[in-house]
Each structure stands twice: as C-alpha cells, then as structure tokens.
Amino acid sequence: MAHPPRHRSKRRPHAHIASSRTTQFENHFKTTTNGRGIDTVLNSLTGELTNASLRLLTNHGRFIEMGKADIRHPEDITRDHPGVTYRAFDLPEAAPERLQEMLAHVTALLQQGTLTPLPIATWDVRRARDAFRHMSRAQHTGTPEKSSSPSPNPRTPKAPF
C-alpha cells in the first residue's frame, strides 16, 4: 500500500496498489480479489487501519505485526478472526545467522533490480524543523535524513515530493 501520489509503479498493476492512509484500501482489495481477501499482511499501521487489514485476511491468513504502536494479543485475534495467525515480529528476535540470510536475500533482489531502493531526501540540519513537519504530514516516501552542510545557506532538498 502507498500514499496516492506514489501509486505509480512499473512493476505492480494498479489493482495491487492502494493508499493505507484511510480504510478505503479494505474495499479496494476486497473488490480486486473478488471478495476472497489476501493471504498475508505485513503491518505497521495502527487502530482502525489495523482492523481493516485484519478483515482483509483469508480464513487461513497470516498477519505479521512489524510496528510497535498497536501490538495485539494473539488470543484476541484468534477469537475475533478465526483461522488467522497473528505474530508480532521484532527484527532483533532473529538469530544473527538468520539476519545475515535475510540481508543477503534482499541485497540480491536489489542487485537483480527486482527491488528498487526507496528515495533518500536530504535536509540540511538547519532545516530540521521543516523536515520533521514534512514527515509529520506523511508527505515523504523513503528516508528523510539530516546532514551538515558546509554551506551557510541551506538548500531545499532534492526529493520526489
């Protein structure tokens, strides 16, 4: 899922992309899958957006919680969504060997061009307030970062906003 201006994708059909800023993605994917739903959710949303994601899962769907703000009790999920498997995942839980395997796999996908890295927008540290305001409005894609520029006149970041 993505923010509407970022829905354009060379690799994904439009029907496979929807905004996660509102719960409208639930109806979009229900329609796209002819009511079947989806098999797996990798989630970092909260509140009603998480609820909408849970409702999208098929009877034997898997919900992997990647966020920290809205971790649910697996027993509640089992009760409210029969057949759904819920797991809160914390990357440091993985053994170092497994982390190495995952990193190697992702690196290979990036090298093959199967995955493309997200853009990085660099903000001069003297514009930190502007950068945080931009982030708080969820107007960014990728990673906003701050840097120290030797120039006394901070530049506006070159980014795909």
* CATH code, 30: 3.40.50.720
Distance between CA atoms of 132 and 101, rounded to whole angstroms?
34
Nearest alpha carbon to residue 67 among 104, 97, 41, 105: 41
Distance between CA atoms of 33 and 55, rounded to whole angstroms?
13
Regions of the chain with pLDDT less than 70: 1-15, 138-161
Same-domain status, 85 and 19: yes
The pLDDT assigned to 160 comes to 42
Same-domain status, 101 and 130: no
Nearest alpha carbon to residue 49 among 17, 10, 19: 19
Same-domain status, 106 and 124: no
The pLDDT assigned to 128 comes to 83
Q: How many domains does the structure of the chain reveal?
A: 2
Same-domain status, 103 and 59: yes
* 86, 65 Cβ separation under 8 angstroms: yes
User: What is the span of the domain harbouring residue 125?
Assistant: 118-161
